[in-house]
Structure 1
Amino acid sequence: MDSSPEGYPQLATLQGTYPQLGIYRRFATLNARNLLYLQAELVDLETSLHDYTREDCESEDPEKRLHSKNWYYLSRSKNGVLDSQWYTMISVREKLKEYNECLFQQRQLSTFDQPEPGNLDFMNAWLTDPRHGNCALEGVDRNVWEAGKDLLVVKPDTLVADSFTRVLRRPLTALYHKLRVSRHRAADEESNIYVYDEKSVVRAADMIGTAISSLMPILSVVVLYCIRDMLTRLGMIAVFTVLFSVALMATTKAKRIEIFAATAAFASVQVVFVGSTSV
């Protein structure tokens, strides 16, 4: 990688080698502004087309009155070519094509993932590190990644994860790096870049999430056993039920109906326990 000239060539080599670093500006505001202008142009053309159509229909010229009924006379009208129904329709056709293409592009852009924070931090560190990017860019685009806003990543995030896993991904990767760095060979020794399989992170996060979900019922039983006041017990049942449902939402990808069913079962077990210990 270091054999590439500094600047755009070396940065392109980095992003081409590691697609997860293919982070670029989305230009959401500019795209939206472009769509607004195209929309305004189409509205203006639509108004003109309506006016020219009405004029043709109300004209004393019999051929013009046929423009709304006979395409042959409409397409071959010679009077007022620039200010005519057919010429305006041709302009509408061209502008509609451009507008629709921009709409589809905007919709496709909205499906791109945001860059993973760890990868974005790495990009910023690489760009300023004298051993790597060495202030790779010096133009007005040099702060694109430092700002960290309006960005997308070309490679989709293949990590099938819940919000809990996404939160843990960065600290778990950092911990894994610290534990393995002494005996794990860098993927790019010249640039000192380490690449890890995200499956290990997912597996670790799943284990932590499962442990938390499994401890919740045990913890509730212990707390309810230690409390003797019935009103306090009922209050703690409500608290643990809410915590259990939140834990399921955070650590699993279960549907709402599945979470509701599991929470209802958990609450029923607590009520049965309280009833059995209060006798």
Structure 2
Amino acid sequence: MANEGAKAPPAATPLQGLIPGYPKLSGRMGIVPEMAIFRRFGTLNAQMLLYMQSELIHLEEELRELELEDSRSKQPYKSKYSRDCFFLYNPTTKGDDRQLRLVLKIKAKLKEYNKALKLQSALTSMPEPSKYDLKYLQGYMETREMGPFIMTGPDADIWGSLDEPKSHAPDLVALQPRHTEDPFSNWVTGTGMKIFFWCGGHRRREPSPVHGMVVYSNSKLLRITYWITSTLASLLPVSSIIILYRVRSMLARLTVIAGFNVIISLCLLGFTNARRSEIFAVTAACSGGIRRSQWNERDNRK
């Protein structure tokens, strides 16, 4: 999603032909896919699954009873149902097709149940919307372009409001959630851009004819953060070696090593998505490398 700022002139607004309400809201969601936030209806979906499950249990019990009854039948044809499905799918008379009709009914119900089960599994794995996108949607619902407060149905409070941002429905999902990066990149694309717009940094940029306002692509912002983190990653080891080369006291050197370990750990926390075990491993490796380089330098001096 692009970070948005000042609005474009009315002629450049892409949604000017849509009336406020569902038409304009859906148009905005189409332009900004991260705004496509809906309820998962987890409770209702689970309830429908429970109904279908209960119905299938009853049908299963009925099938087992009918299978036992047909297996004990004096008619040789019906007693073969459990051993050869050809006889089950080709009954001799109309009255002998009870088990077949029940099997076909169960087959249809199972298909419906399995499909619903898979969809529910997919729904439960869908991510929640980011706070930034949800707040953006809440703000859009209260803009002059949207009404504001044009929605009057029971679904008007699904996303909450700027006054009560946490009053949204508890089971919201995002169709295209914002891609999460490291904490530093997330800060730049979120809070950092808010500060940038607030300071007027967007005034020299022309509004987008598609979004109707000034936009900055997240991909470009993430490229900048990548350059920053890459530069920092290459400078830290070099700077530590240079500083240690200038320090003569062993106590001071140990203090510098400890300080750089803390700095490296903080950088891993802020500029990467490293796990705790990875942070410990990288910190230990860097510390060991710095110490070895210093011992080699001391030996060379001798």
The TM-score by the shorter chain falls in which range? 0.7 to 0.9
Compute the displacement of 1:10 (Å).
1.8
**Which has the higher relative contact order, 1 or 2, with Cα contacts under 8 A spaced 6 or more apart?**
2
Identify the residue that residue 148 of structure 2 maps to in structure 1: 134
1:155 corresponding residue in structure 2: 176
Cα offset, 1:251, TM superposition: 2.2
Match of 1:269 in 2: 289
Question: What is the match of residue 62 of structure 2?
Answer: 48
Distance 2:271 2:80 in 1: 68
2:195 paired with 1:175: yes
Amino acid at match of 1:48: E
Measure how far apart 1:129 and its partner are: 2.3
Write the mapping of 1:221-240 to structure 2, written as runs, cut at 5 A: 233=254, 237=258
Cα pair 1:127 1:134 within 8 Å, conserved: yes
The answer on 1:197 being equivalent to 2:217 is yes
- Mapped partners of 2:269, 2:72: distance in 1: 65
Matches within 5 A, 1:21-100: 21-75=35-89, 76=91, 78-79=94-95, 84-100=98-114
The match for 1:119 is: 133
Q: Is the aligned partner of 1:252 residue 2:268? A: no
- The alpha-carbon deviation at position 7 of structure 1 amounts to 1.3
Distance (Å, rounded) in 2 between the aligned partners of 1:93 and 1:175: 59
CA RMSD of aligned residues (A): 4.1
Which of 9, 15, 19 matches 1:5? Answer: 19
One-letter amino acid of the structure 2 residue matched with residue 90 of structure 1: L
Q: Secondary structure at the match of 2:156?
A: helix
Q: Provide, for residues 100-155 of structure 1, a one-character-per-residue CA deviation record: whole Å limited to 9, x for no partner.
A: 22233234435644434323212111112234331131111011111164223333
Normalised by the length of structure 2, the TM-score is: 0.70
Q: Bigger CA drift: 254-263 or 117-126?
A: 254-263
SS in 2 for 1:139: coil
Per the TM alignment, residue 198 of structure 1 is displaced from its structure 2 partner at its CA by 0.9
Determine the structure 2 residue equivalent to 1:184: 205
One-letter amino acid of the counterpart of residue 201, structure 1: L
Q: Please, which moves more after superposition, 35-44 or 168-177?
A: 35-44
Give the TM-score taking structure 1 as reference length.
Answer: 0.74
Could you say if the C-alpha distance between residues 243 and 182 of structure 1 is closer, same or farther in structure 2, counting changes exceeding 3 Å?
closer
Say if 1:213 and 1:149 are closer, same or farther in 2 by CA, change over 3 A: farther
Q: Deviations over 1:5-50 (max 9, x none)?
A: 2211221222223333222222233333333332333333223322
Amino acid at match of 1:105: L
Identity of aligned residues (%): 28
Is the Cα contact below 8 Å between 2:36 and 2:174 reproduced in 1?
yes
- List gaps (5 residues or longer) in structure 1: none
The count of corresponding residues between Structure 1 and Structure 2 is 273
Amino acid at match of 2:119: Q
1:104 to 107, 118, 124: 118
Q: Within 2, Cα distance between the matches of 1:50 and 1:242? A: 68
